Amino acid sequence: MVYRSFKSSALSFRPMRASCLASGTRSFHASPPRGVLYAKADQQTFTKAINAKGRIAVVDFYADWCGPCHQLAPVVESLTNEPNKSGSGFPFDLVKVDTDSDEGQIIGAKYKIRALPTVIAFRDGTPVSQFVGALNEAGVREFLNQL
């Protein structure tokens, strides 16, 4: 096996196999899927997010005028970020639905949203758990660990 080494005065590079240089291919390692934030989701985005396989969609129903929604939002965002996972090991996607928008009102009516903030967790398109009101960080963490 022939190795080629490339050196610079400031940098030293790992040698590459000659077969990699000739074929022009390199291998890359796949990282685990990252959590996705869907801000101000419309009907199409909402449907896509809640039906994702192997993931849990945490849907935050909010309004701009809602004070408790503004308190809850940063807590939910930080706890659903990577590397946090549900108690069952699934990664989270955070979907934010503005209930003041036309599409947000339609989605909210479908899931009978009567108070804000309301958070519903979906797995494979099915609601699995929810809470209403602004929980503290420990309460949100416990909710996410139960999923």
Give the active site residues.
66, 69
Across the beta sheet with 126-132, the strand order is 37-38, 92-98, 56-62, 118-123, 126-132
How far from 76 is each of 11, 23, 103, 136, CA to CA, in Å?
43, 47, 22, 10
Name the β-bridge partners of 12. Answer: 7
Which spans in 43-82 are helix H?
A: 43-50, 67-80
